[in-house]
Amino acid sequence: GSEDIIAGNVSKCTVLPAGYCGQPKKGHLIFDACFESGNLGRVDHITEFEYDLFIRPDTCNPRFRVWFNFTVENVKESQ
């Protein structure tokens, strides 16, 4: 199958559980890669403790994903 094209970095992306409405709570993670060398293109929430992270391809060789660089905020204790 073909891979989705990931065009840019996530920028202060709050990842909420499916069907959740309202303000984010502690434990609803906030991912950010909108800085030099950031390369996180998409985040999918699976469970409270599991996320699928899609890393953008390396700039000089789109066949490889050798490194990753992003931040995570709003983590609750023991998460």
Report DSSP state, residue 41.
Answer: E
Whole-model pTM: value is 0.79
Measured CA to CA in angstroms, residue 31 lies from 15, 23, 44, 63, 71 at distances of 8, 16, 11, 24, 6
Tens digits of pLDDT across the chain (79 residues) = 445 556 688 899 899 998 999 999 999 999 999 888 888 999 999 998 899 999 888 777 778 777 888 999 999 988 8
Which range of residues forms the domain containing residue 26?
A: 1-78
Q: What letter does residue 27 receive in the DSSP assignment? A: T
Give the chain's domain count: 1
The predicted structure's pLDDT at residue 2? 44
Kindly report, residue by residue over 25-44, the tens digit of the pLDDT. Answer: 999 999 999 888 888 999 99
